[in-house]
Amino acid sequence: MDLTVAAVPVYFGSMGAEYAWTKRRAAQQGPSRSDYERRDTIASLAMGTASLVAPLIMPKLLGPVTPGKGRYGKALVATALGAAVVTTAADLLARANEGPLPPAGVLAPRDLAAATAVSPVDHDVPGRASRRRAARIARRVASSAGLTAVAAGGVAVTTAWASRTSLSRMWGRRRRDLGTGPLTVAGAVLAWDFIYYWNHRLMHESRFLWAIHVVHHSSEHYNLSTALRQPVADAFGVFLPISLLALAGVCPEVIETARGVNLLYQFWIHTDAIGKLGPIEEVFNTASHHRVHHGSNKQYLDRNHGSILIIWDRLFGTFEREAEPVVYGLTKNIDSYNPARIATHEHADMLRDVRGATSWRDRLGFVVRGPGWAYARHAERAEPQPAAGVA
């Protein structure tokens, strides 16, 4: 039995009780960001439903293009490699026709179209106009080919990783069976919690994983319905495999139980109806700790990644106590209740950045480095550049 499905009546019963409580509180103390907002709640429930449907659909869509498994896997890899070669050649051609490279530390202008536009002066310099046109065409080719290379390569890597680390594959390679006793279950829950911490942390520190996880942080409200606002694009992620437990001899049924316990525990911490819990806070993740995790306050960013236990955050330097009031949501909110927008906005922004990049450093950086790096890179590229010959 899937514990998370069996608990559906508990989800809705708890949300009903919390809704009544927040409504009474609002009448006495005024509204807060933990109150239920109809459109926000509907969006959260829609994303929760989609997260249950996506695992049933995505394997069928991605199976045919999975390298080493699907009939079009080799074609996908060839497309990625071919596009990478074209992109590299176009980058070199564009740089050769744009003139000497700028001094170290000086970035190319963000608006490449404007940067390579032909000015009246060009007509007075033999060959300059044709070089500028060649550079402009090369940049356009690099833009499209670079996007193709990154997108096709990303799908190839993520699908291949998922296929090779699948639960059934790892279970088939095990050397022993640890059974289904209480010690095995307890060990599986603990191991799942440890692996979850690192996967959760990576989802905040690498943009292509953040693009998946950002769904859960996109609400500017914080209540039990937020717990159900789950990602739908896990198929495009590369995670530390939970299937390592199967390789160690933990059977799939026990692993599924560990998953259910982990998810069920996380539900109740999405509320501000529960205050701080004293000594419990030193070991376990609590509503207070998780409110910090959902905060966009500077000191709360990328903190408290644990699920059941908070000791992982304490051990690995990502712990923060709740102090000042939490501002929920993203550092740049999307201001939308549209489930499609919620599910895809960061992927769209990421791919747009890849298309606008002019080097492999930036193309890959916009994907694998953190969201904060992308924001900083945008700021760098937006700064006015010194004119040629000016110190």
The identity of residue 330, as a single letter, is L
Global confidence as pTM: 0.89
**Along the 391 residues of the chain, how does pLDDT read in single tens digits?**
678 888 889 999 999 999 999 999 999 999 999 999 999 999 999 999 999 999 999 999 999 999 999 999 999 999 999 999 999 999 999 999 986 544 544 444 444 444 445 455 445 455 788 889 999 999 999 999 999 999 999 999 999 999 999 999 999 999 999 999 999 999 999 999 999 999 999 999 999 999 999 999 999 999 999 999 999 999 999 999 999 999 999 999 999 999 999 999 999 999 999 999 999 999 999 999 999 999 999 999 999 999 999 999 999 999 999 999 999 999 999 999 999 999 999 999 999 999 999 999 999 999 999 999 998 998 888 776 554 444 3
Whole-number pLDDT of residue 78: 98
Q: What contacts 218, CB < 8 A, 6 or more positions away?
A: 229, 329, 330, 333, 334, 342, 345
State the Cα–Cα distance between residues 298 and 276, nearest whole angstrom. 21
Whole-number pLDDT of residue 100: 57
Alpha-carbon Rg for the chain in angstroms: 25
C-alpha dihedral sign at 66, 72, 76, 82 = positive
